[in-house]
Amino acid sequence: MREDTMADTSYKKAREHDQDDALIEFREEFYVNDEKIYFDGNSLGILSKRAEKTTLDALESWKQYGIDGWTEGANPWFYFSENLGVKTAPLIGALPNEVIVTGSTTVNLHQLVSTFYQPKGSKTKILADALAFPTDIYVLQSQLKLKGYDPEEHLVFVKSRDGKTFHEDDIIEKMTDNIALIVLPSVLYRSGQILPMKRLTEAAHERNIAIGFDLCHSIGVFPHHLHDWGVDFAVWCNYKYLNAGPGAVGGLYVHENQFEREPGLSGWFGSRKDKQFDMEHAMTPADDAGAYQLGTPHILSSAPLTGALELFEEAGLERLRNKSLALTGYMMELVESKLKGMGFSIANPREDDRRGGHVYLEHREAARICKALKAEGVIPDFRAPKGIRLAPVPLYNTFTEVWHVIDRLQKIMEKETYKKYENKRGVVA
């Protein structure tokens, strides 16, 4: 959106933005609850009609074929993970054989860290960021212990100067001679900062360090070029911006230059397809990313992704990115205009090339404000100790919804209705 139009914070202007939205028809593809405004798609995307259909198709195959569903029907289950990998690859700029849909973020990270973390000589440490999502740190601590190293000494953290974001030079400065592996997020889950994956990968490789990224908050948000950037590996979930449903199967990427590596963890579905049912105890691994699979694919947890990915192919990731930036840019304009002097600060990067898919507000009363928003029909996302994440998703959210959210937030603050609630998170936040 142009700066001169963004300065207009009227409801009329929000409606004009929606009228100009070339992607507005995709909202009809989703089960949108008109009584609520859902801005938590960066935690769990909502159900689309396509995802529902492909889930029902999988159930129908089970009903119709029984065990023969592994090899018969429109989407034989035996090749399900590989076929989904092919469909996912364009979202991250990977070759089709570099991607497999399998496991979960945590399981896949365990698999790839066990593969790429090969301490030798003085190169024994793992570099991570001090703002990482906890599961990534738990994985790294576990893998260090399994190899006999003390995480207190061998897990190195890049520290944030402001507690929200990182300076890329600070990360590169930590790439010292004793670092064997680097694991970083593509987008910081709190502040939404995009890390410069291309530059960080080049810097790591110049120092002979393997590097991988957690794409949970970036896949489906903006284009990636992992293959061309030379990124060694990546993991992600499919239930946030990709809308594959709660607990949906995750995904992983391994650069084709790394295919000669032996997976750190082995399981029979990592076998070459034509050898798997030979049932030999000497495994013949697949010669692509499929080698990193472990157990039998979770078909019913993968099926929604088939339909969900169709929408990304039709909408186009570049168009989705442009709308996402417009939505979050518009929201920041409204925050600065309508919430001025109310104790809010915008804690995400302002620049388009550094901002992910959500706006991150901080307020000392954040927990109770989120509860008040829910009472007003808005679904936000609280992050302790004082963060409010608001994610207007371009496939199904609108500019008028952005206007209504900030308008309701303004009224909550003016009327102090948030004070009815305890400033403490729920069991699940």
User: What is the CATH classification number for the domain harbouring 133?
Assistant: 3.40.640.10
Looking at the structure, tell me whether residues 66 and 14 fall in a common domain.
no
Looking at the structure, tell me whether residues 219 and 324 fall in a common domain.
no
Q: Is residue 429 part of a domain?
A: no
Looking at the structure, tell me whether residues 302 and 334 fall in a common domain.
no
Q: Give the residues of the chain that fall short of pLDDT 70.
A: 1-7, 427, 429
Could you tell me the two tokens for 372? 């008040």
Nearest Cα neighbor of 240 from 167, 179, 187 is 187
Looking at the structure, tell me whether residues 361 and 262 fall in a common domain.
no
CB of 198 closer than 8 Å to CB of 367? no
Q: What is the CATH number of the domain that holds 408?
A: 3.90.1150.10
76 is in an annotated binding site: no
Looking at the structure, tell me whether residues 223 and 326 fall in a common domain.
no
Distance CA 320, CA 315 (A): 7
Looking at the structure, tell me whether residues 219 and 92 fall in a common domain.
yes
Amino acid at 308: A
- Can you state the percent helix, strand and coil of the chain, rounding each to 5? 45, 15, 40
- pLDDT value of residue 429: 67
Q: Is residue 111 part of a domain?
A: yes
For 297, the 3-state DSSP assignment is coil
- pLDDT value of residue 370: 98
Domain boundary among the residues 313, 334, 364 is at 313
217 is in an annotated binding site: yes
CB of 116 closer than 8 Å to CB of 233? yes
The distance from CA 110 to its chain's CA centroid, rounded to whole angstroms, is 17
Domain boundary among the residues 279, 313, 347 is at 313
Looking at the structure, tell me whether residues 206 and 349 fall in a common domain.
no
134 is in an annotated binding site: yes
Looking at the structure, tell me whether residues 294 and 412 fall in a common domain.
no
135 is in an annotated binding site: yes
CB of 184 closer than 8 Å to CB of 201? no
- Strand spans (E) along 134-232: 155-158, 179-185, 210-214
Domain boundary among the residues 278, 313, 348 is at 313
- pLDDT value of residue 424: 87
Helix residue ranges, H only, 10-104:
11-19, 49-65, 80-92
Q: Which residues have CB under 8 Å from 254's CB, separation 6+?
A: 98, 112, 232, 233, 261, 289, 292
18 is in an annotated binding site: no
- pLDDT value of residue 64: 98
Looking at the structure, tell me whether residues 206 and 260 fall in a common domain.
yes
> Counting Cβ atoms within 10 Å, is residue 103 exposed (0-12), middle (13-18) or buried (19+)?
buried
User: Which whole-number Å values give the CA distances from 302 to 18, 79, 109, 220, 238, in the listed order?
Assistant: 33, 12, 18, 17, 9
Distance CA 248, CA 242 (A): 10
Could you tell me the two tokens for 322? 């442009």
Looking at the structure, tell me whether residues 302 and 330 fall in a common domain.
no
Domain enclosing residue 183, as ranges? 52-313
Beta partners for residue 194, in sequence order? 187
Could you give the number of structural domains in the chain?
A: 2
**Dihedral sign (CA 157, 160, 161, 167):** positive
Q: Is residue 191 part of a domain?
A: yes
Distance CA 320, CA 304 (A): 20
Q: Is residue 43 part of a domain?
A: no
Q: Is residue 46 part of a domain?
A: no
Residue in the structure block whose two tokens are 């507690």: 163
165 is in an annotated binding site: no
- Which letter, b or e, does each residue of 230-247 get, where b requires 16 or more Cβ atoms within 10 Å of its Cβ? bbbbbbbbbbbbbbbbee
5 is in an annotated binding site: no
Looking at the structure, tell me whether residues 326 and 276 fall in a common domain.
no
Beta partners for residue 123, in sequence order? 120
- pLDDT value of residue 8: 85
